[in-house]
Structure 1
Amino acid sequence: MKLYPLFADLSHRAVLVVGGGAVAERKVAALLGAQAQVTVNAPTLTPQLRRWVGEGRVAHRADAFQEGWLDRVWLVVAATSDREMNTLVATLAGLRRIFVNVVDDAALSSFHVPAVVDRAPLMIAISSGGEAPMLARLLRERLETLLDHSLGALATLAARLRHRIRARLPDMAVRRQFYETLFTGQVATLLRRGQPKQALHAAEQALASVPSAPTGAVVLVGAGPGDPGLLTLRALRALNEADVILHDRLVSAEVLELARRDAERIEVGKQAGNHHTTQDGIHALLLEHARAGRRVVRLKGGDPFVFGRGGEELEFLRAHGIPYEVVPGITAAVACAAYAGIPLTHREHAQSVRFVTAHCRSSLDTLDWVALARERQTLAVYMGVGELAALQARLIEHGRAATTPFALIENGSRAGQRVVTGTLANLHERASAHAVASPALLILGEVAALAQSLAWFGQPPLGATVHDIRRVAANRRHVILPPAPADLLSAIHRG
C-alpha cells in the first residue's frame, strides 16, 4: 500500500479521540499542538488528560460511545484496547467518509499518524503506512540530528518576505534561484548563529540586488549505472536545482524520481537502430532551454566522459557561450564489475584494463585487435550486445585464448541484475541462450571468473558448465580442450 502524503489543517476543527489511556494521551497532545478542538470519549482518563479537561483545553464524554458524536467531527482516532470498539468506530466513521486512525491497526485505519520532525512551521513527516512504526521513528531520530533547529526561523523569514519576493521577482526561474541562495547562504548562517535581525537585513539586501532576468546554464551530470545510491551528492543537488532535465533512455526511473517534481523531463535517448533524438537535436534543445534562462541538467547514464559524448556537448556549449559545469558519475564498467564481484585489475590476473565501445560494426573496424587480444588484461566492452559474435571471432582470431573467462552483466546495479558467465569460446552462444539484452556490459579476462565466488548482489551468476565449454570448444579446431575438471573455476585458471 502506498499512501498519499497529506498535511491537515485542524486548527479550531473538531476531532474525536475514543480512549483515555496513555496512547490516547499522546494522540491528544499532538492534536492540541495543531490547535484542534479535541473531545475525548472514555470512562476514565490519565492524570494528564484530566488536567487538560480541567483547564478547558479538552472536552470529555464519559458515556458509552454514540454514533451521533461523529456528525460534526473532521477526524477520529480510536485508541482503546478493545478491538471490537475500535472496529465499530472505524466502520461508522468510514460510512460518513471521515478519516479515522486506529492505533496499531493499519487495516482499520484510513489515515496514519507519521513520525514527525518538528521545525515549525517546517514539518517533516515519516510514515511506513502503519506497518513498521519503529522504523519510521528510527528515521526521525536520525533526521533530528541532521536538521538544525534554525530551519524553523528560516521558514518564518521566508514567509515574511514571500509577497515582496514574488513582486520583485515575477519570473519563476529567477525566484527559485533566489530562494535557493536564501536557504543555503549567509542568511541561513546568521540564523544558525542566533542573529535574526542581521539575517533579515541580509535577506532584504540580497533581494534588492538580485537580477530580475534569469541566467541559463547547463550541468552535465553522470547518473551512474542505475542504482540511485551511486549518485554523487553534487549530482543530487543538480537534479533538485534543474528546471529542465534532458535524460538518456537508460537513466533509471529511480534516479529520475530524485529530481525536482516540477522539473520538465525530456527523454533524448539513443538506442541501436533507433536514434529518435539525434546529437544535433540534443544540442539544439540544450541551446534553446539555456538561452531561455533555464538551468538545464544533461543527465547521462554512467559517466558523461566515458563513451557518453560529453566532450562534444561541452564543445557545442562553449562555442555558443553557454555556461556549463560537469558532475562526473560512476561509469558502467566500474559499477557493474563491482556489483558482480569482479575486480577489474588483480595482481595475479590483470595488470591493466581497457574500456572499449562496440556499438556497431564500423566501430569494430577501428579497434586495435592485436592489442586487445593480449593476455593478462581486462576488457570492459560497452554497447557490445549486438556484436558479440564478431567480438568473439576477432579476439580469437588475433590470439586471445578461447578459454578466457567472460561475464556479461545485464542491468548492472539494478534490481533486475543478471550475470552470465562462460568462456570466450561460447560467448555468443550463452548470450543468446539467456537472451541477454541492453543495457549489458561485457567483461573479458581472467578476473571475470571471480564472479562465481565473489558475487554479492542479486541472483547468483548463471555460470557455464564444463559440458558447455567442451561442447563449444570441440567445434573450434584452434581451441585446446581443457581436461574435465572437478570444478569449473579450477579448469579456467589452469587453462
Structure 2
Amino acid sequence: MEFLPISWRLQGKQALVVGGGDVALRKGRLLHRSGAVLSVVAPDVCDELRHLVAEGQGHLRERPFDAADLAGSSLVICATDDSAVNAQIADLAAAENIPVNVVDNPSLGDFIFPAIVDRSPVLISISSSGASPVLARKLRSQLESTLPARWGRLADLMAKFRQPLKDKLDNVGARRLFWEQALDSPIVEKVLAGKDSEAEVLLAEAIDSADSDKLSQGEVYLVGAGPGDPDLLTFRALRLLQKADVVLYDRLVGKGIVDLARRDAEMVYVGKARDKHALPQDNINELLVHYARQGKKVCRLKGGDPFIFGRGGEEIDLIVQEGINFQVVPGITAASGCAAYGGIPLTHRDHAQSVRFVTGHRQDGTVTLDWEHLVSETETVVFYMGLVGLRQICDQLMAHGRKGDTPIALVSRGTTDLQEVITGTLATLPDDIEGREIHAPTLIIVGSVVSLHPKFGWFK
C-alpha cells in the first residue's frame, strides 16, 4: 500500500491552490465542498474558481507564485501547466513541512486525490495510487450506480441513536452486534424508501428491547475460502468473515482473502502445512470453543470447502458437544476450482461420466487407497494432497489396470496468479517433474479429460 487513505477535516483551514485553470478548478471544488478556505495564486484565474474563493471568503492573488504565499497553508495543490514550477513549489512546501499534491505527478507530492462517492456523511474514496485516475473514476461510476442516494440519511439516523443505544448497552461489542443486526433489518428499507419517521420508530423499539447477553452470545462460522482466488469467495463467506471478532486461518487460505477480514479482528494462524501444523487439530477445535465461550464471533477460515477433505466435521463435532451456535458456509473445492482454471472439465460425455475425489495424503509413508475402484477409463479421479506420493499413485494405478498413457495433470497453486499446470501421462509425469520445484498446494487430475487442457486452458 503506497498511500494511506485517511479522512482529513479541513473546515476553516487554508488550502493553497497554485494555478487557475480547469485542473485547479477541479481540486478547488473538492476543497470548497470540504469547508476549506481557498487561497488561489495564478496570473489567470477562471471565473468559477474566482467565485469559489469569494464564496468561501478566501484569498485571490492574480500573479505568479511567491514563496511567501505558503504562509498559513495547511496543504498545497500544485496545478500549474509548468512542471518545473510545480516541482519548485513542492520542494518549498516540503521544506516547510506542508503536505503537497502535485497534479499529474504523484511522486513529487505527499498525497493524492481519490475518486469520491459522496453519500455524506458516508464517503467512499477510490484510488489507484496515481497509477490510473481513469480507472479510479471508472470504479467510482460503478459504485455510484449501485449505492442508493439515501445511505447518508441512514448514517444520520444511526448517529442520532448512538447515545440512546450506549445508554441501553454498556458493552461496546454488544452495540456493534446490534448495529450489524439493524443493518440487516427492515429499518434500512424504510430509510431507503424515504420513510424516515417509520424507521425511527422501528429503531427506537429495537433499542428498547436490546439484550446485551443475547447479543454477546458466541458463535462459530466454518467458512470455505475456496482454492485461492479471492473472487471465488461467496457473498455469505465475505459477510461472515467481516463480521467475525476472531479469525482462525491456515496456510491454504490466500493472503488476499485473509486481508478481507475486519481490521480490528484478532487473526490467529493455525498453519496446517503438510506434516507441520502450527497447532494440532485438537488444539484448533479447542480454540474455536475457547473464543466462542468468550462471547465472540469466530470465523474458521478454511481453504477449499470445509466438508471436502477439510476436517470440518471434526471441528464442528466439539462445537456441537459444547452447545455453541454455528454456521457452515461451503466454498468452491480445490478440484472444481483448479480444474476450471486449468481448462480441464472433470466430466465430459466423450471422456468421463463420473468423477471421484480421493486423498493422496500418505499415512505411515504409504498411500493406502482402494486402487481396484480407481481404474475406470470413463471416470476422472482427483487426488488431493498427493504431490509427495505422486510416483506411488501412478505406479499403483498402472499396476491395477490403468493404461500408462492415461493423461494426468498436476496443478500447482491453482486459481492464483502463480498457477502452473503440468501435464503428462501416468508413465512419464513422475520422471518429468523429478528435481523440479513444485509449490504447494497441489492437485492431481487423472483421466482422458486432461487431454482437453491445451484446447480449453484459458487462465494464464
Which residue in the other structure is 1:456 paired with?
458
For 1:308, give the aligned amino acid.
G
Q: Is the 8 A contact 1:116 1:140 kept in 2?
A: yes
User: Alignment partner for residue 231 of structure 2, among 226, 229, 232?
Assistant: 229
Deviation at residue 53 of structure 1 after TM alignment: 4.4
C-alpha separation between the residues in 2 aligned to 1:331 and 1:53?
A: 59
Amino acid at match of 2:64: A
Name the counterpart of 1:298.
300
Match of 1:424 in 2: 426
1:172 Cα offset (Å): 3.0
Name which of 276, 292, 298 aligns with 2:278.
Answer: 276
CA distance in 2, matches of 1:346, 1:50: 69
The amino acid across from 2:61 in the alignment is R
* Aligned twin of 2:333: 331
Give the structure 1 partner of residue 347 of structure 2: 345
Work out whether residues 230 and 256 of structure 2, in 8 Å CA contact, stay in contact via their aligned partners in 1: yes
Cα–Cα, structure 1 residues 246 and 260, in superposed 2: closer, same or farther, change >3 Å?
Answer: same
2-structure distance, mates of 1:8, 1:139: 22
CA distance in 2, matches of 1:249, 1:25: 50
- Are 1:173 and 1:243, in contact at CA under 8 Å, matched by a contact in 2? no
Match in the other structure for 2:170: 170
- Secondary structure of 2:212 counterpart: coil
Which 5+ residue runs of structure 2 have no aligned equivalent?
A: none
Structure 1 unaligned blocks of 5 or more: 459-495
Matched residue type, 1:58: G
Q: Secondary structure at the match of 2:223?
A: strand
- Distance, in Å, in 2 between the alignment partners of 1:363 and 1:218 is 35
Taking the aligned partners of 1:27 and 1:446, their CA distance within structure 2 comes to 61
C-alpha contact 2:351 2:448 (8 A) present in aligned 1: yes
Q: Is the 8 A contact 2:305 2:332 kept in 1?
A: yes
Amino acid at match of 1:128: S
Q: Give the SS at the match of 1:315.
A: helix
Distance 1:281 1:52, change over 3 A: closer
| Contact 1:154–1:183 (8 Å) recurs in 2 | no
Q: Counterpart in 2 of 1:33? A: 33
Matched residues in 2 for 1:187 and 1:242: separation? 23
Give the Å deviation of 1:55: 4.4
Q: Distance in 1 between matches of 2:235 and 2:390?
A: 36
Query: CA 1:42–1:435 in structure 2 vs 1: closer, same or farther (change >3 Å)?
Result: closer
Counterpart of 2:40, as a letter, is V
Name the SS for the 2:388 alignment partner: helix
Bigger shift: residues 388-397 or 162-171: 162-171
- 1:196 partnered with 2:196: yes
Deviates more, 1:10-19 or 1:384-393: 384-393
Query: What residue in structure 2 maps to residue 472 of structure 1?
Result: none
In 2, Cα distance between equivalents of 1:45 and 1:135: 29
| d(CA) in 2 for partners of 1:427, 1:178 | 56
Q: Counterpart of 1:179?
A: 179
CA distance in 2, matches of 1:255, 1:348: 37
Matched residues in 2 for 1:399 and 1:130: separation? 60
- Identical amino acids, percent of aligned pairs: 45
Instruction: Quote how far apart the aligned CAs of 1:251 are.
Output: 0.7
TM-score (norm 2): 0.96
Residues 1:383 and 1:53: Cα distance change in structure 2 (over 3 Å) = closer
Cross-structure match for 1:367: 369
**Offset of residue 11 of structure 1:** 0.5
**Are residue 243 (structure 1) and residue 245 (structure 2) matched?**
yes
Task: Give aligned pairs, total.
Answer: 458
Aligned to 1:114: 114
Deviates more, 1:190-199 or 1:285-294: 190-199
* Residue 394 of structure 2: aligned partner: 392
Map of 2:161 onto structure 1: 161
Kindly indicate whether the alpha-carbon contact (under 8 Å) linking 2:37 and 2:53 is maintained by their aligned counterparts in 1: no
Distance 1:252 1:52 in 2: 48
The TM-score normalised by the length of structure 1 is 0.89
Higher Cα Rg: structure 1 or 2? 1
Question: 435, 438, 442: which is aligned to 1:436?
Answer: 438
Deviation at 1:378, TM superposition (A): 0.8
Which segment is superposed worse, 218-227 or 186-195? 186-195
Q: CA RMSD in A?
A: 1.7
Q: Using the alignment, how far apart are the partners of 1:320 and 1:52 within structure 2?
A: 64
Q: Is the 8 A contact 1:216 1:289 kept in 2?
A: yes
Deviates more, 1:225-234 or 1:166-175: 166-175
Residue 354 of structure 1 aligns with which residue? Answer: 356
For the pair 1:208 / 2:208, whether they are aligned, the reply is yes
* Aligned structure 1 segments of 4 or more residues deviating by more than 4 angstroms: 53-56, 362-366
Q: Is the 8 A contact 2:358 2:381 kept in 1?
A: yes
CA shift at 1:111, angstroms?
1.0
Could you tell me which amino acid in structure 2 is paired with residue 41 of structure 1?
A: V
Q: Distance in 2 between matches of 1:303 and 1:276?
A: 20
Deviation at 1:366, TM superposition (A): 4.7
Residue of structure 2 equivalent to 1:467: none
Name the CA distance, whole Å, in 1 between partners of 2:43 and 2:276: 72
**SS across alignment from 2:16:** strand
Q: How does 1:24-173 map to 2 (within 5 A)?
A: 24-55=24-55, 57-173=57-173
Q: Distance in 1 between matches of 2:138 and 2:123?
A: 17
In the alignment, the residues of structure 2 paired with residue 361 and residue 299 of structure 1 have an alpha-carbon distance, to the nearest angstrom, of 25
1:264-318 CA-to-partner distances (Å, cap 9, x unmatched) read 1112232332233222111111111111111111111100110111122222222
